[in-house]
């Protein structure tokens, strides 16, 4: 079988953390594709997060393993403006059989779509939820103009990669002429975790970006209701980074609601944590709460389940299956319903729920199986392109 050359273009990549769980998910996908025999290259920037750059070599490709390499480009402004990426892009697109583009409203998006159209390269495009809207969506008009430019410049062979039925529907509305494929993210599977017992205190965890879309205000409202009722002894940890002014507003509200030191019902805002510090958060958590207004996937839910932590997710997320699987709740996104779910959760066998969640998540998000699905889809795109070329050659010979 002929080796496939797969190019991933992304504004940020491993080991950065600016896109949360998406980055390790796509790193895992690239590793899986390489294991299956694909030649995988990633063209990206050195952006890490919070306006910082990673200490990586931006002068040459960095080999991550057999058949898998990353070319970092130095970003100079905004989140991902990297002139070197534009300089290198034509060479990498020419090399590729399939180009997999990540994100929508970022520097590499429009140049990548335009160049793939010019070169006749098929594109798989992962919006990562950016095409979904909710009542608090910002810069809607500017986004609509950007999307219009993308529709004009997109290649004929364009597939939007969705991770849930909800995202697939939103993608079809924004780009009705594009194909849509639904394949979940690859989520790295950790070794069986160990838990630190909570000594009678229900330890709630929010882990994610601090942004109005994430519904943290509803979680703090639930916190206030629970504290007032006094029915549950609990604590809340909010971990994540975001816009400075919004982060300060969340800290101020949390501080106003929180009890004094020594009071179990205290809320902590601990900032963005990665690596071992993030693993400690999971180890010391009894329940993850995800109160988002909208999510295309919610990698943190899968991460929690794989660490045997049950989850309460809002109906803005695609996690209805939590109820069916017996490893969490899927509730309306308001303080009362979140508080009721937390109170109910406090009376349930959490460790047993966690074990059920991990067993299911290990089957559902196995990187090898998801890599095989994406590999098969790429193969189909390449075959379809070859069929078109063969048809054109045949027509040319008939008329010569």
**How many CA atoms lie less than 13 Å away from 349 in the CB half-sphere?**
6
**Overall residue count recorded for the chain in this entry:** 400
C-beta separation of 150 from 117 below 8 A = no
CA distance 128 to 170: 11
Measuring CA to CA, how many Å separate 164 from each of 14, 23, 121, 296, 376?
A: 23, 18, 26, 6, 19
CA distance 232 to 204: 11
> CB atoms < 10 A from the CB of 259, how many?
12
pLDDT at 15: 86
CA distance 251 to 87: 42
CA distance 355 to 305: 8
* Domains of the chain listed by start with CATH number: 5-188+365-396 (3.40.50.2000), 202-364 (3.40.50.2000)
DSSP character string of 133-145? --TT--SHHHHHH
SS3 per-residue string spanning 164-213: CHHHHHHHHHHCCCCEEEECCCCCCCCCCCCCCCCCCCEEEEEECCECHH
> CB atoms < 10 A from the CB of 256, how many?
10
pLDDT at 106: 93
Ranges of H-type helices in 96-139: 109-119
pLDDT at 388: 63
Query: What are the average pLDDT values for consecutive 10-residue runs of the chain, which has 400 residues?
Result: 89 80 92 96 87 87 96 86 95 98 95 98 96 89 96 97 96 96 94 84 95 96 92 91 93 82 72 91 97 95 97 97 97 97 96 97 93 97 79 56
pLDDT at 260: 53
The strand pair at 287-290 and 311-314 is best described as: parallel
Residue at token pair 């950065």: 16
CA distance 14 to 347: 39
The backbone torsions φ and ψ at residue 129, rounded to the nearest 5 degrees and listed phi first, read 85, -5
pLDDT at 77: 77
Ranges of H-type helices in 36-155: 83-95, 109-119, 140-153
**How many CA atoms lie less than 13 Å away from 34 in the CB half-sphere?**
19
């Amino acid at each position: 079988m002929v080796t496939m050359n797969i190019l991933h273009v992304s504004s940020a990549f491993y080991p950065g953390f600016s896109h949360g769980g998406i980055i390790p998910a796509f790193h895992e996908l690239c590793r899986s594709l390489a294991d299956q025999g694909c030649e995988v290259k990633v063209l990206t920037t050195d952006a890490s997060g919070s306006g910082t750059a990673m200490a990586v070599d931006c002068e040459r490709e960095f080999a991550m393993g057999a058949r898998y390499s990353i070319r970092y480009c130095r970003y100079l402004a905004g989140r991902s403006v990297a002139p070197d990426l534009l300089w290198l892009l034509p060479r990498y697109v020419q090399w590729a059989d399939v180009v997999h583009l990540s994100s929508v409203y970022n520097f590499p998006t429009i140049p990548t779509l335009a160049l793939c159209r010019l070169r006749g390269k098929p594109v798989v495009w992962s919006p990562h939820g950016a095409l979904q809207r909710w009542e608090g969506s910002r810069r809607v008009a500017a986004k609509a103009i950007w999307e219009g430019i993308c529709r004009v410049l997109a290649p004929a062979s364009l597939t939007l990669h969705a991770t849930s039925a909800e995202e697939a529907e939103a993608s079809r509305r924004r780009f009705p002429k594009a194909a849509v494929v639904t394949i979940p993210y690859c989520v790295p599977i950790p070794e069986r975790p160990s838990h630190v017992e909570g000594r009678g205190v229900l330890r709630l965890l929010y882990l994610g970006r601090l942004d109005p879309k994430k519904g943290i205000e509803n979680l703090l409202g639930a916190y206030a209701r629970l504290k007032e009722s006094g029915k549950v002894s609990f604590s809340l940890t909010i971990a994540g980074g975001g816009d400075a002014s919004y982060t300060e507003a969340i800290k101020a509200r949390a501080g106003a609601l929180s009890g004094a030191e020594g009071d179990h019902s205290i809320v902590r805002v601990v900032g963005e944590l990665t690596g071992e510090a993030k693993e400690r958060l999971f180890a010391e958590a009894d329940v993850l709460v995800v109160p988002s207004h909208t999510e295309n996937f919610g990698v943190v839910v899968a991460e929690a389940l794989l660490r045997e932590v049950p989850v309460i997710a809002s109906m803005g997320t695609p996690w209805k299956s939590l109820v069916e699987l017996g490893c969490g709740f899927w509730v309306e996104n308001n303080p009362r319903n979140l508080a009721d779910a937390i109170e109910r959760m406090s009376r349930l066998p959490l460790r047993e729920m966690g074990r059920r969640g991990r067993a299911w998540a290990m089957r559902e998000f196995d990187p090898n199986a998801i890599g095989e699905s994406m590999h098969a889809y790429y193969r189909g795109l390449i075959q379809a392109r070859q069929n078109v070329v063969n048809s054109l050659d045949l027509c040319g010979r008939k008329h010569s």
